[in-house]
Structure 1
Amino acid sequence: MTSSTSVPATAVRVRGLRRVFGARSVLDGLELDLRRGEFLALLGASGSGKTTLLRILGALDGADGGEALVPEARTIVFQEPRLIPSKKVLANVTVGLPRGAATRATGLRALAEVGLERHADAWPATLSGGEAQRVALARALVREPELLLLDEPFAALDALTRLRMQDLVGELRRIHRPAVLLVTHDVDEAVRLADRVAVLRDGRLVTDEPVTVPRPRDPGDPAFVALRRRLLADLGVHAPGEAATSTPGPAPASPEGASA
């Protein structure tokens, strides 16, 4: 069951959550709390249930048991921007919102926040991958969500654009203060952005700990390195020294979708 919650300090409360595909329990009694304004990064191998959990919290899938309490105001940013080709950038940002000058002004402010105010009248086909994903972020934030769900939103970007998008998400989160759940395969990304990092395995969280590395976070910081190593070990990745800096890339699609 998924429903809204009005508990002031809590954005997400999950208890005993189960999701079954055939004979396989992708989520098996999952327990999770996420405070308002908190940023949680969720790691796990492909098929571990990360995207299944995100889809349930976003009301795109149902659970087979347990309880998930979430805010009514929630939005999802996917790996693909999912812009409407036949609508210009501003119309993509405000799609589904009431028409009018106030909505247009709100959309323009959102585009300004992601550095794309000059692209309001551009067509999606003219945007780079990073620009399109910034439009997707603006579309999510214009709805002022209390919960922002991010499903590997930087996975298709080049390394430099990815770092810039990470910085942008961190800044937008600081300004808007939604609770954020980021699904990612990248350990460095998780440690760089999140207040907490959790590892999902066998349908349950096997790791859930705060990130105490001071911001801005340097991957060479001993505390960053130590947490990275612990998380990689929890993911079953054992490499000498610092040779491994992120988890393996996505495997073929699992029952939960194209990315796990």
Structure 2
Amino acid sequence: MSEDQGIEPVAVSITGLRKSFGDKTVLDGVDLTIRRGEFVVLLGPSGTGKTTLLRLLTGLEVPDAGEVLVPGRRTTVYQEPRLIPSKRVLANVLIGLRRNRITREAGLAALAEVQLDGKANQWPATLSGGEAQRAALARALVRDPELLLLDEPFAALDALTRLRMQDLVGELVARHRPAVLMVTHDVDEAVRLADRVIVLDRGRFAVDTTIAVPRPRERTDPDILRYHTDFLAHLGVGDPDRRLLRSTP
């Protein structure tokens, strides 16, 4: 953090980003800045380019135009945990890392952070859905990412487990302070977790606004309800005249 301004450094900088598949323009000149410790959530209907944007940040896709600047230490947590069945939980967490005492201790510490400290020697098949996703989070944490990408990580979980995972991710992000870009279809989830919410529509950012409500956030808070109603309206649900929010710096 800058001692002079108290502003976190920029972790992600995107300018003029364009991406098309055939005749379909998926991203049409978008600009995005995410600072260290900032939690940004991307909302939008299916097929609007949310996952494409994540893939561009990971390097799995190449932009047609524009500039993408991202940190070297970045990792992604997907909707599926993507654990290797033939490796125990700790081995999955440490996959791709040099195995030594230091990385083993780091892996065990990461498992403890996600409340899986007793599961290190278990097989993935013995884990519940929530536990498997927590193992995937531990695998991300052990890499000390500067940028954490979350591609609908809670979509396959039941409602109660989903809420618990949201709380856990919020705590972990507050503790480790990576820049975060998360894709979700869930407006409740977006308003609960995000510092900023972006609505992607026809390849452009229709809304990019800060959630100016302190944490912890209650769904019944009038301000939270206002954000919720507005984002739904921008997504085509409810009264379009209720779209009160506009992009904010």
TM-score, normalised to structure 2, is 0.92
Q: Secondary structure at the match of 1:153?
A: coil
Q: Secondary structure at the match of 2:107?
A: helix
- Give the aligned CA root-mean-square deviation in angstroms: 1.1
- Corresponding residue for residue 140 of structure 1: 140
In 2, are the aligned partners of 1:111 and 1:138 still within 8 Å (CA)? yes
- Corresponding residue for residue 223 of structure 2: 223
Q: Does 1:175 align with 2:196?
A: no
- Corresponding residue for residue 57 of structure 2: 57
Offset, 1:206 = 0.7
- Corresponding residue for residue 249 of structure 1: none
Unaligned runs of 5+ in 1: 1-7, 241-260
- Corresponding residue for residue 158 of structure 2: 158
In 2, are the aligned partners of 1:199 and 1:234 still within 8 Å (CA)? yes
- Corresponding residue for residue 248 of structure 1: none
Q: Which runs of structure 2 are paired with 1:242-253 in the superposition (5 Å)?
A: none
Offset, 1:214 = 2.1
- Corresponding residue for residue 116 of structure 1: 116
In 2, are the aligned partners of 1:39 and 1:194 still within 8 Å (CA)? yes
Q: Secondary structure at the match of 1:139?
A: helix
Q: Secondary structure at the match of 1:118?
A: coil
CA distance in 2, matches of 1:144, 1:212: 28
- Corresponding residue for residue 33 of structure 2: 33
CA distance in 1, matches of 2:183, 2:211: 16
Offset, 1:239 = 6.0
Q: Secondary structure at the match of 1:117?
A: coil
Q: Secondary structure at the match of 2:236?
A: coil
CA distance in 1, matches of 2:222, 2:62: 41
- Corresponding residue for residue 81 of structure 1: 81
Q: Secondary structure at the match of 1:60?
A: coil
The amino acid that maps onto 1:64 is D
- Corresponding residue for residue 200 of structure 2: 200
The amino acid that maps onto 2:11 is A
Offset, 1:64 = 1.1
In 2, are the aligned partners of 1:197 and 1:208 still within 8 Å (CA)? yes
Instruction: Report Cα offsets for 1:44-98 as digits up to 9, x if no partner.
Output: 0000000000111011211111111110100000000000111000000001111
Q: Secondary structure at the match of 1:119?
A: coil
Q: Secondary structure at the match of 2:118?
A: helix
- Corresponding residue for residue 99 of structure 1: 99
Unaligned runs of 5+ in 2: 1-7, 241-249
Offset, 1:208 = 0.4
> Displaced runs of 4+ in structure 1, greater than 3 A?
none
- Corresponding residue for residue 235 of structure 1: 235
Bigger mean CA offset, 11-20 vs 155-164: 11-20
CA distance in 2, matches of 1:164, 1:60: 30
Identity %: 67
The amino acid that maps onto 2:175 is I
- Corresponding residue for residue 14 of structure 1: 14
In 2, are the aligned partners of 1:31 and 1:204 still within 8 Å (CA)? no
Q: Secondary structure at the match of 1:32?
A: strand
